[in-house]
Each structure stands twice: as C-alpha cells, then as structure tokens.
Amino acid sequence: MKCYRVQQLYDDLASGRLPEPLSRDVRQHLADCTDCRVQHQRTGRLQRLLALKRHEQPPAGYFDNFLTEFNARLDADLRRAGFWRRLFAAADLEPLLSWRYGLATAGCLIGALGLLWVGLGQSPAPGSATAPAAGGESMIVFAPAPRGADDDLIAPRFELPLIYATDVEPTISSARVNPSGPVVQQVGATRYVLDRISVTPARYDVSSVDF
C-alpha cells in the first residue's frame, strides 16, 4: 500500500469506518512504515489540539438578543430595498422573491411586452376600433365608449376588436349584485390612451445564493 493512500485514510481508521481487509492493510502499513506511523501520531495530536477549540465559547447570554437583532437587520435591509420587496415582506411573501419567481415574472413581462409590440405594430383599418364586437372573443379589452370621430386620432391600435364596458353583460353571481343599483355608462368619457411604456429593469438582488 502506498504511503499517500494510507495517509488519506487516517480519519476512517480512527472512526472505525474502514472495511476489514482495508483496515488490516492500513494497520500493517503503519506498523511497517516509520514515516507514516509518526505522521499518524502527529495527526492524532493535532486533531486533539484542534478539538479543544470547541471550548472557546462566547460569553453567557451572547445569543439572547440574536432573534431581535435578526429582525432589526431584516427591517433595516427592507428599508434600503425597493417598494416591491416591502410589499412582499408585508404580505409575508418575501420568499417568493427568489430567482425562480423572478425569472417567471420577467418571462411574463417580456411575453406581455412582446404581445403588445406585435399588437401595436399592426394597424387596423380606420374606425375598426370603434366597432363593438360580438361576444365570445378570446381577449376582451375594456375601454370606455368613444366620444366621437375625433378620438380616432388618438385611438389605440388593437388588432382584436374592442368590447366596450357598456356592451358587456355582468357575469358575476346575482347574489352579489344589487339589481337596483345604478348602471354606470361612461358615455362620452375620454378614451384612455397608452402612449408610452416605461419599463424599469426589475432588480432581483436575491437571485442566487453566491457560494
């Protein structure tokens, strides 16, 4: 048996984890080889010396306020963090801000922006956006009813036909709806225009555990 191989097995020999034929071989080598025997003894002494470090202990009561301090630090950490982290922390959902969820959110955001980009890139025929659609479309876009032809100048260009709020029948349970309540029709209200998209890059500062 090579000396180097034996020296790698000291710990297993000491802990009795070495299977029998190997254990016997190692013991035999230690009996025959002076260098390894001395090395083995020194290693044992060093390990005992190192184990004494376990007696180095912090003063009594050292950990008494550990949890309070942890909470204070987390609190201070949140103060420095942005709005979203605070929101998630308030709802106790902070673990959701991991890189997986971050990636999923970023993916959804990119997907949504992609769809919007495709939608904006294809202009419908003039006036088509003002035509109420029949029900049963896969995508329903709610918007106040148009005020007049002038609004077409600033109308958003959606490929899919719009369904106006005034055209949609309530589908929620009647038990939750007050039938005598007023029906709000925003006739003549200004059309909302999405003229600018401002995207701030999301920060995922807990995206990975830096090992």
Partner 1 sequence: MKLLDQFRTNRAAPARPATEHTIELQHEEDEALVRRAQRGQTRAFDLLIERYKERLYATVYHMTSNREDAHDLVQDTFIKAYRSLGSFKGQSSFYTWVYRIAVNRTINFLKRGKNRTHHSLDNVDDAIQTDPDFVELMSQDTPRRETGLHEQQQRMNAALQKLSDNHRAVVVLHDVQGMTHADIAKMMKCSEGTVRSRLFYARQQLQGLLSEYW
| Residue where the block lists tokens 């959804």 | 108
74: which residues sit within 8 A by CB, 6+ positions away? 89
**Piece of 48-56, 132-140, 144-152, 169-177 that binds partner 1 (CB under 8 A):** 48-56
Residue among 13, 89, 106, 120 that touches partner 1 (CB under 8 A): 89
Question: Judged by CB, which is closer to Zn ion: 30, or 97?
Answer: 30
Question: Judged by CB, which is closer to partner 1: 102, or 146?
Answer: 102
Task: Check residue 11 for interaction with partner 1 (CB under 8 A).
Answer: yes
CA 92 – CA 79 distance, rounded (Å)? 15
Structure tokens given for 64 = 């008494």
What, of partner 1, Zn ion, none, does residue 36 touch, CB below 5 to 8 Å by kind? Zn ion
Return the amino acid letter for 1.
M
With contact defined as beta carbons under 8 Å apart, do 13 and 47 qualify?
no
The residue among 47, 46, 45, 27 whose CA lies nearest residue 37 is: 27
What, of partner 1, Zn ion, none, does residue 50 touch, CB below 5 to 8 Å by kind? partner 1
Residue among 24, 27, 42, 157 that touches partner 1 (CB under 8 A): 42
Contact residues toward Zn ion (CB under 5 A) are 3, 33, 36
